[in-house]
Every structure is written in structure tokens, then in C-alpha cells.
Amino acid sequence: MRILALLALGAALTLPATAALAEKIRVGVTPGPHAQIMEKVREEAKAAGLEIEILEFSDYVVPNAALAAGDLDANSFQHQPYLDNQIADRGYDLVVIGKTVTFPLGLFSAKIKSLDALPEKARVAIPNDPTNGGRALILLASQGLITLRDGAGLAATPLDIEKNPKKLRIVELDAAQLPRSLNDVDIAAINGNYALEAGLDPTHDALAQEAADGPYANVIAVRKADKDKPWANSLVNVYQSAKVKSFIESTFKGALIPAW
């Protein structure tokens, strides 16, 4: 028995340091690109002694609630303005530890080939959450379709529309439902991740896209108490590594862009 115990001890001592020190964390993502990228991060994180369990959520609300409740250690699915809005509305004690990717918001249509063909009183679908709704209105304004009041900023709502020469009818829908609305509206402002999931190619199918260097970079969020923990630093370092960046660029071909 003593010999077996010594053999077991010896085997344990010869294990790679990363295996001996492996730490497990739970990371929440939304399906599609965020999940795909996190799978690559999980693969690369093993060498850093970090074991990642990935949990997928089908909406934008649950991942922050789950993180705040301690059911997740981190999440990777949202941009900074959305997180700021969630913190302000719900009092979450969450912070950002690193940037991930940008999904440029685009205007898509199943009925017209250019914005010049947009008819009067066209139905225009935009996300119904505050930050992405404002983002869509800013994109419409950048294309000269509407004018927003001064100071409306990122939190713009349809009530902030000052000029609407084509008398566009704004339809607010859940962001995830927007690709399915294309047959029912004239154009829809669709987040890049939902466009990709629906088989749309943002680089070729979008009638217009917001600038890639805007304020909507996606982020990794954690509870404030965890922001300085070693695993948090490891998660960011692996995500922002050359191998993960290369994976993003080769897989998505410009439809989403590394934001670090």
C-alpha cells in the first residue's frame, strides 16, 4: 500500500504545472460568433491552466443577471453601452476586464437593393433595447434618412427624431427577431451577430454599416470583486492572443473585427 501511495504521489508530482494548477470558470455567451470564439479561447486557455465551461444564452438579459447572481464567473456577449445601461437600470456590480470584437450594425432588406430605393412611409425595424435602438437611429441619421435632435446621443429614441422626410415608420422589435422581420418590413437594423446567425453576410448584404471604430466594442464582464483575480487576467490574455485574433479574422472575414 505504501508503495502504491508513493507511486501515486510521484505521478502527481510529474504532472504538467498547468494541469496541477488548472482553474475552472464558467463563461456565458450568446449563440453564434461569441460562442464560436469562446470555443477557440477555451482550447487555447488549457495551456494557461484555465478550464472554461461555456454556457449559451439565447437573449441579452439573462447573462448579466446570471453573472451578478454568481452563476457565471464572466460573460462575453455585449458592448459597453449595453452593459452601462444594464448597470444603471439594475444596479449590477459588474465591470469590464477587456475588449473582444466589434459587430458593425447594418441595414438589411429583402425588398430593396439600395437605400435610394427606400419608399416613403417605409417600415423600418430597429432593436427595442435602449442602446441598440439608439445605435440604429444614429446609423439611419448617418445615411441622411432622419435627423435627430441635438444631444440625443447614444440613448436616442424614436421620440428624438426631429426630421423624417420620407415619413419612415419605426418598428421596434427584439434584436434577435430582426432577421425574421425582413419579409415584413422594408429595412431592418440588425446586429452583426444576429445577421451572421441568419445567414446574412454583413460585408456584402448590408445596404449600410456603422463605422468599425465606434463606441460599440464588445467586452468581457465580471463581478467587480473578481476583476483582479489571476483567472480574469488569463482569460483576457488568451482572448486577446495572436492565435485567437487570427481565428477571428480567418473565420469571419471582416464581418466582425477584433477590438483590441
* Confidence band, pLDDT 50/70/90 cuts, at residue 9: very low
The pLDDT confidence band at residue 21, using thresholds 50, 70 and 90, is low
CA 105/CA 211 separation, integer angstroms = 9
* CA gap 235, 30 in Å, rounded: 17
Least confidently predicted of 60-69, 91-100, 136-145, 196-205: 196-205
The dihedral sign for the CA sequence 74, 80, 84, 90: negative
pLDDT at residue 131, as a whole number: 80
**pTM of structure:** 0.74
Domains of the chain, each with CATH number or no CATH: 13-103+215-258 (3.40.190.10), 106-209 (3.40.190.10)
Report the alpha-carbon distance of residue 80 to residue 172 in Å, rounded: 21
Given a cut of 80, is residue 4 above it in pLDDT?
A: no
Mean pLDDT of all residues in 3-18: 40
- The whole-angstrom separation of Cα 220 and Cα 165 is 40
Mean pLDDT, range 175-195, rounded to an integer: 94
- Stretch 212-238: mean pLDDT, rounded? 94
Show Cβ contacts of residue 209 under 8 Å, excluding neighbours closer than 6 positions: 104, 105, 106, 107, 139, 202
Task: Tell me if 26 sits within 8 A of 226, measured CB to CB.
Answer: no
pLDDT per residue as tens digits for the range 62-84: 999 999 999 999 999 999 999 99
The residues pairing with 53 across neighbouring beta strands, listed in sequence order, are: 26
pLDDT of 180 > 70? The answer is yes
**Average pLDDT for residues 254-260, to the nearest whole number?**
88
DSSP 176-217: GGGGGGTTTSSEEEE-HHHHHHTT--HHHH-SEE--TTSS--
Specify the amino acid at residue 107. L
Least confident piece of the model among 13-22, 36-45, 183-192: 13-22
Q: pLDDT (tens digit, 9 = 90+) per residue, 89-125? A: 999 999 999 999 998 899 999 999 999 999 999 999 9
Confidence of residue 14 (pLDDT cuts 50, 70, 90): very low
Q: How many residues are recorded in the chain?
A: 260
Cell 426631429, residue located = 162
Please name the residue that has the C-alpha cell 444603471.
88
CA distance 150 to 147: 9
Q: What's residue 64's pLDDT? A: 98
Of 247, 258, 260, 257, nearest in space to 104 by CA: 257
